[in-house]
Amino acid sequence: MSKELTTLLSRDQIHDRIKEMGAQITADYQGQQVHLICILKGASLFLADLARAIDLPVSLDFMAVSSYGKGTKTTGEVRITKDLDAAIQNMNVIIVEDIVDTGLTLNYLRGLLENRGPRSVKIATLLDKPSRRIQPVTVEYVGFTIPDAFVVGYGLDYAERYRNLRDVCVLDPTATSAGA
Ligand code: IMP
Ligand code: MG
């Protein structure tokens, strides 16, 4: 592994935790169907593993968003760059996200999707960085709570790199050549 990366969560830890999350979701929605909405691109690897850990009828859809002024403004304004393919009326929606940071993205998305008439909306995130929260957001399923560090791997990127790492790693910005 290169010098700028330090493993925070190993592939085995991630795999074991997602199995537990899938079992929890399976128990919570017993006898029902769930509709997983993956927030692209970061959550795509998590979605693939979480979906297979759920022992219920599952359907999938995908959404892509980009935040305005992240890190500088706190408007919470989020732009949808790819909307869902299908309506979600009467569905048990679970928003599948890679990481909750400021909370702006998920706060906005939850409100948006709740207005489309689903039966329920819950959120599943692989990672949670609560120390960075600007807007409170209820997250029903959290894989791991992590400290305030910039992480990559298992779907998460820095400038579109590192998504294919099997472990979640802390990226040392002073050691990286990724942006060069
Ligand atoms: P927020 O909760 O609205 O601040 O946005 C969360 C989004 O910011 C995530 O979906 C990621 O795309 C991105 N993000 C936040 N923290 C990290 C990180 O440590 N590594 C990679 N992406 C991150
Ligand atoms: Mg994301």
Distance from C-alpha of 102 to C-alpha of 135, rounded to nearest angstrom: 6
Q: Give how many domains the chain has, as a whole number.
A: 1
Ligand nearest to the backbone CA of 77: 1
Closest CA relative to residue 133, chosen from 114, 105, 171? 105
pLDDT in tens, 17-45: 999 999 999 999 999 999 999 999 999 99
Q: Can 167 be counted among the known catalytic residues?
A: no
Assigned domain for 43 exists: yes
Smallest CA separation from ligand 1 atom 17, residue: 150
Q: Exactly one of 49, 98, 101, 167 is catalytic; which is it?
A: 101
Q: Which ligand is nearest to the CA of 106?
A: 1
Could you read off the pLDDT of 105-135 as tens digits, one per residue? 999 999 999 999 999 999 999 999 999 999 9
Confirm whether 95 is domain-assigned. Answer: yes
Distance, CA of 58 to CA of 137 (rounded, Å): 25
- Residue 90 within any structural domain of the chain: yes
Q: With 70 as the cut, is the pLDDT of residue 72 above it?
A: no
Cα(127) to centroid(ligand 1), Å: 9
Looking at the domain assignment, is residue 167 inside a domain? no
Interatomic CA distance for residues 168 and 42, integer angstroms: 12
Residues near ligand 1 (Cβ within 6 A): 42, 67, 97-105, 150-152, 156
Q: What is the pLDDT of residue 68?
A: 67
Structural domain for 104, as ranges: 12-147
Task: Look up the CATH number of the domain holding residue 27.
Answer: 3.40.50.2020
Q: Is 169 helix (H, G, I), strand (E, B) or coil?
A: strand
CA 64 – ligand 2 centroid, Å: 8
Q: How far apart are CA 28 and CA 52, in angstroms?
A: 16
Atom nearest to 42 CA in ligand 1: 12
Please indicate, yes or no, if residue 81 is contained in any of the structural domains. Answer: yes
Three-state SS for 136-163 is: CCCCCEEEEECCCCCEEECCECECCECC
- 114 is a domain residue: yes
